[in-house]
Amino acid sequence: MNHIKKMVAPVLIAFFFILYCVGLAFLAIWLPQELLVIRVIYGIIGIGLVIGMLVTLSQRIKEILEGEEDDLSNY
């Protein structure tokens, strides 16, 4: 139960960050057709940020489950 409480904040932050990135990517849909290159770049950046956040979230959940709640011990 204690691990679940420590996972709430990272999951919520990741959720809202992904929601924000997906929102920005969908905003690119309404750009004029002449700006196709910018639309593609927005999509690629958005997908990259989402993948990066999911990888980071999975690493953080793994750390919490292994009992390493404090990242500062690595530094």
> Which helix or strand (DSSP H or E) is residue 51 part of?
helix 36-65
Domain locations along the chain: 10-23+35-65
CA distances (Å), origin 52, targets 5, 14, 33, 36, 61: 23, 10, 28, 24, 14
**What pLDDT is attached to residue 30?**
80
Radius of gyration of the chain (CA): 17
Q: What is the pLDDT of residues 36-49, one digit of tens each?
A: 888 888 888 888 99
**What pLDDT is attached to residue 70?**
65
Which residue ranges in the chain fall short of pLDDT 70?
A: 1, 69-75
Side chain identity, residue 70: D
- The pTM assigned to this predicted structure is 0.78
